[in-house]
Amino acid sequence: MIPFGAHSIPYAPGTLRPSGDPAAADRQVLEHYRWWKASFLRSGDEVGGRGRCAVFTPDAAHPFVAEAQGYGLVITALMAGADPDAHGLFDGILRHVLAHPSVNHPDLHAAQQDAGGRDVGGHDSATDGDLDIAYGLLLADRQWGGGHSDYKALAVRRIDAVLECEVHGGTRLTKLGDWSSGRFDEVSRTSDWMPDHFRAFRAATGDPRWDEVLDAHLTLVGAVRTRHAPATGLLPDFVVDTASGDPRPAPGKVLESPHDGDYHWNACRDPWRLGADAVTSGDPRTRAAARGLSRWARAATGGDPARIRSGYRLDGTAYGGPGSPAFTAPFAVAAMAEGERHEGGRDEGEGGEGAQGWLDALWARMCGAPPDPARAYAAGVRLQSMLVVSHNYWVP
């Protein structure tokens, strides 16, 4: 087991961490975890019967969505050792997932359930949920596996199903779900680009195609940043024409809103997803992307996280309202990549006190208030960002 708070798996050299006592940071994470549990976990008859558990999403189109279940599996696995109920909660969420297979593949998750626990909205999958579900199973295998545990076997089956149904066979880029075809076959959501997950899937399966998936996504990250957001490094919610040789931000509404080509409510997770890989793998490609995002945000706000907005054009023009934690917290993960390793073993921000001060300001804002019980999405993004920033995240 890798208990929460052990910090036993080091991050890449040069990674920053919040100033002060690491144990105090762990206590902040644990407090937010308890708030998250109390606000968003449902069990028993509320989710289909005894022994089941699920993450409730009052702010989503339906009460239970795949994305949130993936978050729940990852969070509870990472909290092992601090919460004696973590294993049981993980298994309860997993029972909910297993009870709702996608209509298109039995090893993928039907993405939406209503308040009565019935599948709705097509009964098909969402790639981001499946990626986190598989990743959570790999974490669980490391935490509680062995003996008669089948976490690893379940994970490998889901990883294979993702590759079969949710990764484009030509481009090796993630698709939107197992339903994507026709005009949606060449659309990819940037918040599904999870490099650390792809690395873990390669290690778990030995399948070299996951190397191709990783390289395809990191190549596209660099291309989109260079061609479409050279001043900011921001990525859009959706990239279209992925198989054309000239992938580009969505030109307006493709799936969700007129902001599909902007840094909106999907892409706000990108600094966390790219930053998590940067600090765990040290890959210069994700490190450069995370640093670029952090430096732009720091300059654009004058180092004040309260000035982050919930929505930007790729040129950095803000259009959103006051910054939700879903927009603010991921920048703290990216800020960790601004550190440099110096002689004597010191880690400090490349810009002197600027980067460290920026990280500390972001951390203080993340810790400042409990989650809004009406906003499961923001709470899940913030808590997982806090796990990374406090050095409690690791790749199985």
Q: Please provide residue 187's backbone torsions phi and psi, each rounded to the nearest 5 degrees.
A: -115, 135
Catalytic, out of 67, 132, 196, 260: 67
**Rounded Cα gap, residues 131 and 188, in angstroms:** 14
CB 389 within 8 A of CB 363: yes
Q: Catalytic: 372?
A: no
**Rounded Cα gap, residues 276 and 395, in angstroms:** 9
**Rounded Cα gap, residues 54 and 137, in angstroms:** 15
Q: Catalytic: 207?
A: no
Catalytic, out of 128, 130, 166, 186: 128
For tokens 């990108």, what's the residue?
Answer: 270
Task: Write the burial class of residue 178 (CB in 10 Å: 0-12 exposed, 13-18 middle, 19+ buried).
Answer: buried
What is the greatest pairwise CA distance in the chain? 59
The pair of structure tokens assigned to 384 is 């997982």
- C-alpha distances (whole Å) from 94 to each of 186, 250, 394 are 31, 34, 20
Question: Which of 40, 132, 39 lies closest to 78, judged by CA?
Answer: 132
CA 93 from centroid of its chain's CA atoms: 18
Q: Which residues are catalytic?
A: 67, 128
